[in-house]
Amino acid sequence: MTTLITGGRLVTEIDSYDADILIEDGRIAAIGKGLAPPDGAEVIDASGKLVLPGIIDPHVHVSLDQGGHVSSDFRSTTRAAAFGGVTSIITYVTPKKGQLLSEAVEERKEQAEGNCHIDFGLHASLVNWEDRRDDEIPEMVEAGIPSFKAYTVYSSSGLKSSEEQLYGALLAAGQHGGLIEVHCENEWIIERKIKRLAEEGKLSPADHAASRPSYVEGEAIGAVLRAAYDAGAPVYIVHVSTAEGVEAIEEALELGLEVYAETCPHFLLLDEGKLSDPNGQRYATCPPLRSEEHQENLWDALDEGSIQVIATDHCEFTAADKDEDASDFRRIPMGLPGVGTLLPLMWHFGVSAGRMKERDLVDRLCMQPAEIFGLYPGKGNLAVGTDADLVIFDPDLPVSITPEVLHGHSDYSPYEGQEVTGWPVSTMVRGYWVVKDRELVGSHELGSFIRRGKVCQKPGRRES
């Protein structure tokens, strides 16, 4: 299949320029002005629009079971992603008790294959440590799964790593070319807070934030970074939400540690006051939403490059799931939908609002996740020879955010009613249109497993 996209403005992490883009056999075959369409080529006029590399969301939860509530499945998650201009997600493989990572990977691939509108990669979760074997990290790296998720919380569900286990994982990952990603919150402080709040009968969604104050994150990030420094290993901190977290990361960067960090649109855009809304439970996530002061710190860290990635931590439940036990935050399924709103929100509140350069948007949403997680050079960039994963974005299109425009699993959005200007209109994965003129045209059988290569390809700060 051959496609020529004409008249658009291409945006990369370095600059932007007017050019046509020719796609042949799933890859970008040529970029230039006035390209002639080959015989039989489909010609798409992108005048007045931007052409961006497909967005890579490296933090997406699929079919996550929380107390019997199950979040969006592969089909609905990847459909919403495609409508939002996302062409690759990386989701998690979390082995059950007694299961090897390799067994869990096979199960997860079976669940995904034939049910994905876009491509997917997998992170291996280092949980249930009594089942983990020393050779699993090199085995996963070899299998194209070079990133590993660890938690400093959730011991009751077997997710937590002790400091020693985490240190061992950092050493092994460093040695075998893997990257450890850590969810950082101090568990014992949280447990004590929750116990106290329960005794006082304070269990509303607004009390959820009080159970996980900002220093809980800062403290845990500091501890993990000290371990990584000593292990001499790179480390990636997921969903940074606080000024204290940013401070710990910036200190580590100054010491020369190879630390990568991610924040999420909801930490940049939604403040903790939302938890006091009549439907506050629909904003409940971990870590919790924070104050505006923290938001400012996160925007600054993104601007300076101490946070390199914006990902969503997408975990999409319905309003009914969120509402069922709303009076007790311990029973609310945690997480927010976000994969479909990542690009338009960051365009509207980042680029259009003057908080982020256009090229930095592409850097934080495409290039950095590609390089850090080993998808580069095949993905993350618009260059001859790369996969034709791209999105045509109309910067002038006004859209009011509703569940209907997101095409996901949920019947609510934390951004419902928000008017934004600028929306993805067409999304291509490896030369195939998945969404065209805001209509789903692609098959749920298109997406395939991304066997990832070397992580952390361009370590260090990027010039901005």
Q: How many residues bind Zn ion (CB under 5 A)?
A: 1
CB contact at 8 A, 267 and 239: yes
Query: Minimum distance from CB of 13 to Zn ion (Å)?
Result: 25
Query: Minimum distance from CB of 365 to Zn ion (Å)?
Result: 17
Cα separation, 206 vs 284, in Å, equals 9
**Burial of residue 100, with CB atoms counted within 10 A of its CB: 0-12 exposed, 13-18 middle, 19 or more buried:** middle
Query: Minimum distance from CB of 382 to Zn ion (Å)?
Result: 29
Closest residue to bound Zn ion by CB? 313
Q: What is the dihedral of CA 430, 433, 434, 438, to 10 degrees?
A: 140
159 forms bridges with which residues in the sheet? none
Q: How many helices (H) and strands (E) does the chain have?
A: 15, 21
Between 313 and 316, CB nearer to Zn ion? 313
CB contact at 8 A, 429 and 389: yes
Between 313 and 371, CB nearer to Zn ion? 313
Query: Minimum distance from CB of 61 to Zn ion (Å)?
Result: 6
Scan for tokens 């979040």, then name that residue: 71
Between 13 and 321, CB nearer to Zn ion? 321
Query: Minimum distance from CB of 59 to Zn ion (Å)?
Result: 6
Between 149 and 430, CB nearer to Zn ion? 149
How many other C-beta atoms are found inside a 10 Å radius of the C-beta of residue 23?
A: 24
Between 244 and 313, CB nearer to Zn ion? 313
Residue list 160-179, contact with Zn ion (CB under 5 A): none
Query: Minimum distance from CB of 449 to Zn ion (Å)?
Result: 20
* Contact track, Zn ion, 260-299, x by CB under 5 A: ----------------------------------------
Strand, coil or helix: 288 = coil
Query: Is 20 among the residues that bind Zn ion (CB under 5 A)?
Result: no
Between 285 and 381, CB nearer to Zn ion? 285
Query: Minimum distance from CB of 336 to Zn ion (Å)?
Result: 10
Report residue 381 as tokens. 């960039």
Between 313 and 358, CB nearer to Zn ion? 313
Torsion-angle region of 448 (φ positive above 0: left; ψ -120 to 50: alpha; else: beta): beta
* Contact track, Zn ion, 305-344, x by CB under 5 A: --------x-------------------------------
Between 4 and 270, CB nearer to Zn ion? 270
Half-sphere exposure of 245 (CA within 13 A, CB side): 35
Query: Minimum distance from CB of 381 to Zn ion (Å)?
Result: 26
CB contact at 8 A, 186 and 219: yes
Cα separation, 456 vs 147, in Å, equals 10
| DSSP 8-state symbol, 17 | E
Half-sphere exposure of 443 (CA within 13 A, CB side): 8
- Contacts with Zn ion by CB under 5 A lie at 313
